[in-house]
Homo-oligomer: A and B are copies of this chain.
Amino acid sequence: MAQHRYMLAEDRIPDRWYNIAADLPSMPPPPLNPGTGEPIGPEALAAIFPMALIEQEVSPERWIPIPDAVREVYAMWRPTPLYRAVGLEQALGTSCKIFYKYEGVSPAGSHKPNTSVPQAFYNKEAGVRKLSTETGAGQWGSSLSFACQHFGLECEVFMVRVSFDSKPYRRLMMETWGGTCIASPSELTNAGRTILAENPDSSGSLGIAISEAVEVAATNDDTNYALGSVLNHVLLHQTVVGQEAKEQLDMAGAYPDVVIGCVGGGSNFAGLAFPFLEDKIAGRDIRIVAVEPASCPTLTRGTYGYDFGDTAQMTPLLPMHSLGHGFMPPSIHSGGLRYHGMAPLVSHVVHTGLVEATSYSQVECFTEAVRFARAEGIIPAPEPSHAIRHVITEVERAKEEGVEKTILFNLCGHGHFDMAAYADFLGGTMQDLDVDEGELSRASEALAALPGIG
CB-contact partner of A5 in B10, B373, B377, under 8 A: B10
Other A-B pairs beyond A1-B72, A169-B416, 12, CB < 8 Å = A1-B10, A1-B68, A3-B75, A4-B10, A5-B77, A107-B379, A146-B377, A168-B419, A168-B423, A176-B379, A176-B422, A177-B377
Which chain B residues border A301 with CB–CB below 8 Å? none
- Which among A175, A176, A178 has the greatest number of chain B C-beta atoms within 10 A? A176
Residue of B nearest to A376 (CB): B76
CB distance from A293 to the nearest CB of B (A): 20
Cβ contact within 8 Å between B4 and A76:
yes
A contact set with B: CB distance below 8 Å: 1-5, 7, 9-11, 68, 71-72, 75-77, 83, 87, 105, 107, 109, 146, 149-150, 168-169, 172-173, 175-178, 370, 373-374, 376-379, 416-417, 419-420, 422-423, 426
Cβ contact within 8 Å between A72 and B4:
yes
Residue of B nearest to A73 (CB): B377
Given contacts A1-B72, A423-B168, contact A109 B146 (CB under 8 A): no
Bound CA span A105–B75, Å:
15
Bound CA span A150–B417, Å:
23
Which chain B residues border A168 with CB–CB below 8 Å? 419, 423
CB-contact partner of A374 in B76, B83, B149, B379, under 8 A: B149
CB distance from A401 to the nearest CB of B (A): 31
Which chain B residues border A370 with CB–CB below 8 Å? 176
Cβ contact within 8 Å between A7 and B5:
no
Cβ contact within 8 Å between B10 and A419:
no
Given contacts A1-B68, A416-B416, contact A377 B107 (CB under 8 A): yes
Bound CA span A81–B416, Å:
20
Residue of B nearest to A75 (CB): B4
Given contacts A176-B379, A374-B177, A426-B172, contact A76 B5 (CB under 8 A): yes
Cβ contact within 8 Å between A75 and B5:
yes
Bound CA span A168–B423, Å:
9
- Mind listing 14 A-B residue pairs with CB under 8 Å? A1-B11, A1-B71, A1-B72, A1-B75, A4-B75, A5-B75, A107-B378, A107-B379, A168-B423, A172-B422, A175-B422, A175-B426, A176-B370, A176-B379
Bound CA span A150–B175, Å:
37
- Which among A5, A109, A172 has the greatest number of chain B C-beta atoms within 10 A? A172
Bound CA span A7–B178, Å:
29
The 7 A-B pairs with the shortest beta carbon distances in the complex, nearest first, are A107-B377, A169-B419, A416-B416, A172-B419, A4-B75, A172-B422, A176-B373
Which chain B residues border A3 with CB–CB below 8 Å? 10, 75
CB distance from A283 to the nearest CB of B (A): 34
Which chain B residues border A379 with CB–CB below 8 Å? 107, 173, 176
Which chain B residues border A149 with CB–CB below 8 Å? 374
Which chain B residues border A105 with CB–CB below 8 Å? 105
Which chain B residues border A1 with CB–CB below 8 Å? 10-11, 68, 71-72, 75
Bound CA span A301–B107, Å:
37
CB distance from A450 to the nearest CB of B (A): 42
Cβ contact within 8 Å between A173 and B419:
yes
CB distance from A103 to the nearest CB of B (A): 13
Which chain B residues border A4 with CB–CB below 8 Å? 10, 72, 75-76
Bound CA span A175–B373, Å:
11
Bound CA span A272–B423, Å:
35
Cβ contact within 8 Å between B5 and A109:
no
CB distance from A105 to the nearest CB of B (A): 6
CB distance from A93 to the nearest CB of B (A): 15
Cβ contact within 8 Å between B416 and A150:
no
CB distance from A134 to the nearest CB of B (A): 21
CB distance from A147 to the nearest CB of B (A): 9
CB distance from A342 to the nearest CB of B (A): 30
Cβ contact within 8 Å between B377 and A426:
no
CB distance from A229 to the nearest CB of B (A): 21
Cβ contact within 8 Å between A72 and B2:
yes
Bound CA span A72–B3, Å:
8
Given contacts A177-B373, A426-B172, contact A10 B10 (CB under 8 A): no
CB distance from A42 to the nearest CB of B (A): 31
Which chain B residues border A373 with CB–CB below 8 Å? 176-177
